[in-house]
Amino acid sequence: MLLGGCATVTSHRAAEPLDYLPSLAGAYFPLRSEVMASTYHVYIRVPEGYEKDQAQRYPIVYLLDGDSTFPMLAPEHLFLKYDDHMPDAIIVGIAYGSFAPPVNHREIDFGVRAAEFESFLSSELIPAVESRVRADPSKRILVGQSFGANFVLFSAYEQPDLFWARIASNPSARMRPELLTEPAKAGVRSDLHLFLVSGTANNADGRKFALSLADRWQRARAPWAFEEIDIQGGTHAADLPNAYRLALRSLFGTPR
């Protein structure tokens, strides 16, 4: 399952092998978190030609809800490289192994235990991943959808310097309403980015919540450059690839 350039990765074969899906080629490993007292399934897609240039380092994208977002956005990034001339990247999916609770506890991780999950990312997941692949730690990107988007916003507020860019797609109005009023913590870096993507056909409460955040952050001082992106006709979840594409095109300077 590993490409030659990922030979340092200690990998366990997934229940269904991905050997014949080259757009997802890379590695997999389970990660038991002491912070969360839970096991996560970590999937890594490495760029084409990764094994050829052992000196090259790549931007690295961390996908929340990797059970669905990894098989969706890892191939999407390959197409962005082909069509939009996007820099290739290492794509990491953080998966639970099921959509059903209690195995899948995303609402807990992204809600009441968001601070602990942030600690898991910074102290356990990122070191485990970036000790295995040639990532550029100055070019980390965090992507979340719905409840995952709420965590992306929480992370931007609490630990802004951890990720170079964050993409929050259609955050849920049911979580983290305090983000409407609380100021973000100060960051050290001056190159940070936060993208809030909202579908115009999202559910009414979610759309209102996103626009309220955007209105405030367009005027507020924050440690990141903020951009709100509307997807005309975009719905809550089905337009995540569009959200990803439009945010990355802006981030890497490709005109929309």
pLDDT the model gives residue 255: 57
Give the residue-averaged pLDDT of 200-218: 93
Tell me: the pLDDT tens digits for 168-206?
999 999 888 888 788 888 889 999 999 999 999 999 999
> pLDDT tens digit string along 58-109?
999 999 999 999 999 999 999 999 999 999 999 999 999 999 999 999 999 9
Q: Residue ranges of the domains in the chain?
A: 4-251
Q: How far apart are CA 57 and CA 130, in angstroms?
A: 11
* pLDDT tens-digit series, residues 2-27: 333 443 444 445 556 777 899 999 99
Pairing of strands 165-169, 26-33: unpaired
Q: How far apart are CA 207 and CA 202, in angstroms?
A: 6
For residue 6, the model assigns a pLDDT of 43
For the chain, state the CA radius of gyration: 17
pLDDT of residue 16: 63
Enter the CATH code of domain 4-251. Answer: 3.40.50.1820
